[in-house]
Amino acid sequence: MASKKENDELGQKILNTAQALFNRYGVEEVSMHQVAKTAGIGQGTLYRRYPSKSKICLTLMEAKIDRFFQDLDDYLRSSGEEPVALRLRTVMYRVVLLINEDLEWLRVVLTSERLEESKNNLCTNSPFNYLQMQIKSLLEHASEQGSIKPLDPAFTSLLLVTLPRADVILYLRDMGYDAEQIAEQYCRSFVDTLFIDSPEK
């Protein structure tokens, strides 16, 4: 029976192999068979650890997401004196840029599952819940200050966190918009309009 250390080493070998292949060929062009063969393991071993390519993508993204939210925490702690409108705009601008960076990976994750499964996975995962909580808190703070139009913070935070969809951003990229333009237009359309006095970037 394999030890925990051997299992951890095997898992890391699979992830390192997948990362290298994704970087070289693109996520959609790499098959699970190719990952197993390059890692020097059987497909059964790979599928027992990662039942789909989307699960590999999600695992690889976890560390990056953890770093992103740590940076977000640091920003929110250090920006308490800034207007809420600017803080919320900064948060959502960064979120849209993050989605742009991992667009191909997110598309694989979302298209590999049925709609109901994708919806359940999205609405119950920790990053989603964390982000919605932070946005809801900012909206509630703005409401207390009277700097925002009348709204339901729980409802609006849910919409804000789900609106920057990977498939829509991909379509916008195909139309010729770059990541910064998409982030800016998103904030103008869905963040700035919530406030009585729109923030300046």
CATH number of the domain to which 170 belongs = 1.10.357.10
Average pLDDT (133-146) is 95
**Does 27 lie in the same domain as 70?**
no
**Does 168 lie in the same domain as 80?**
yes
**Does 171 lie in the same domain as 82?**
yes
**Does 86 lie in the same domain as 17?**
no
DSSP string, 67-128: HHHHHHHHHHHHTTTS-HHHHHHHHHHHHHHHHHHTHHHHHHHHHTS-HHHHHHHHHHSHHH
Q: How many CB atoms lie within 10 A of CB 160?
A: 23
- Is residue 200, in this structure, part of any structural domain at all? no
- Is residue 128, in this structure, part of any structural domain at all? yes
pLDDT at residue 123 greater than cutoff 70: no
pLDDT at residue 49 greater than cutoff 80: yes
- Is residue 163, in this structure, part of any structural domain at all? yes
Task: Please give the tally of structural domains in the chain.
Answer: 2
Residue 32 has which token pair?
Answer: 């699970």
pLDDT at residue 144 greater than cutoff 50: yes
Q: Domain span at residue 35?
A: 1-51
- Is residue 201, in this structure, part of any structural domain at all? no
**Does 73 lie in the same domain as 33?**
no
How far does the chain reach from its first CA to its final CA, in angstroms?
A: 57
137 CA to centre of own chain: 19
- CATH classification at residue 4: 1.10.10.60
**Does 167 lie in the same domain as 75?**
yes
Higher pLDDT, 94 or 61: 94
CB of 173 within 8 A of CB of 166? no
Residue-wise pLDDT for 126-138, tens only, equals 777 888 999 999 9
**Does 89 lie in the same domain as 130?**
yes
Average pLDDT (187-192) is 95
Higher pLDDT, 165 or 25: 25
**Does 115 lie in the same domain as 32?**
no
The overall average pLDDT reported for the chain is 84
DSSP state of 177: -
Average pLDDT (5-20) is 83
Total length of the chain:
201
**Does 91 lie in the same domain as 66?**
yes
- Residue carrying structure tokens 């919409």: 159
- Is residue 150, in this structure, part of any structural domain at all? yes
What is the pLDDT, as a whole number, of residue 143? 94
- Is residue 199, in this structure, part of any structural domain at all? no
Residue-wise pLDDT for 75-117, tens only, equals 999 999 999 999 999 999 999 998 887 766 666 665 655 444 4
Q: Which pLDDT band, with edges at 50, 70 and 90, does 163 fall under? A: confident
**Does 137 lie in the same domain as 89?**
yes
Task: Lowest mean pLDDT of 15-19, 21-25, 100-104, name the range.
Answer: 100-104
Q: Which pLDDT band, with edges at 50, 70 and 90, does 189 fall under? A: very high
**Does 130 lie in the same domain as 31?**
no
- Is residue 24, in this structure, part of any structural domain at all? yes
What is the pLDDT, as a whole number, of residue 175? 94
